[in-house]
């Protein structure tokens, strides 16, 4: 990251030196059709590409399907499914479920409401679907057919003010945390 000083809390960020946006986030699925039905039919993300591929990867020839579901900024959520069951086991998720490992997608309140209504109408994992108000944003959480946790987040009006404050104090806040100061600095809720 290009900044005027890496320790200055008011460091100026040269946005042109940063990655411009997410291209895609990839995950392994055991069921491409269940994944398609969830993302396209329930959430409303269009299937934008399906690649059927065979490549020499990591010391062996691997045959797989790679699908992409488009987001509004041109980025995508992508999913792999391997023909060989051993490849599925080797490359699939190995970590136990954690609510702190997830993909957060920015949405408007209206889009969040539409997704929530669609999840409810589909009776999609009601025990795993919930809303959390973080103060600076409100998030709808659910998981996909693969166990991937998704967060659909809309920012609270005035979030620019809280974002600016967090930018100004980011280094100092991290330093304080590392030194043992663990009290909350979220005064928005």
Give the Cα separation of 184 and 141 in Å (integer): 22
* pLDDT tens profile 23-46: 889 999 999 999 999 999 999 999
Residue range of the domain that includes 103:
20-155
* pLDDT tens profile 155-183: 988 888 888 888 888 888 888 888 988 88
Q: Is position 62 within any domain?
A: yes
pLDDT tops 70 at residue 4: no
Average pLDDT over every residue of 53-77: 92
List the CATH number of the domain containing 146. 3.10.180.10
- The pLDDT score that the predictor gives to residue 9 is 42
Q: In terms of DSSP bridges, do strands 149-155 and 102-106 run parallel, antiparallel, or are they unpaired?
A: parallel
- The pLDDT score that the predictor gives to residue 12 is 67
Reported pTM: 0.77
Q: Is position 3 within any domain?
A: no
Number of domains in the chain: 1
Q: Is position 15 within any domain?
A: no
Q: Is position 48 within any domain?
A: yes
Give Cα separations from 43 to 147, 161, 169, 173 (angstroms). 15, 30, 36, 36
Q: Is position 10 within any domain?
A: no
Q: If you count DSSP H runs as helices and E runs as strands, how many of each does the chain have, helices first?
A: 4, 8
């Amino acid at each position: 990251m290009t900044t005027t000083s890496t320790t200055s809390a008011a460091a100026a960020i040269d946005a042109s030196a940063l990655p411009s946006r997410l291209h895609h986030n990839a995950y392994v699925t055991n069921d491409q059709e269940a994944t398609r039905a969830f993302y396209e039919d329930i959430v409303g993300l269009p299937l934008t590409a399906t690649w059927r591929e065979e490549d020499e990867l990591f010391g062996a020839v691997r045959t797989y399907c790679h699908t992409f579901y488009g987001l509004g900024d041109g980025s995508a959520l992508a999913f792999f499914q391997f023909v060989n069951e051993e490849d599925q086991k080797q490359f699939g998720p190995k970590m136990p479920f954690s609510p702190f490992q997830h993909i957060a997608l920015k949405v408007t309140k209206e889009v969040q409401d539409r997704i929530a209504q669609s999840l409810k109408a589909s009776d999609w994992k009601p025990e795993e679907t919930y809303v959390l108000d973080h103060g600076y944003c409100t998030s709808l959480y659910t998981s996909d057919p693969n166990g991937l946790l998704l967060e659909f987040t809309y920012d609270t009006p005035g979030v620019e003010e809280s974002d600016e404050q967090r930018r100004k104090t980011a280094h100092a806040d991290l330093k304080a945390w590392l030194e043992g100061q663990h009290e909350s600095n979220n005064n928005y809720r």
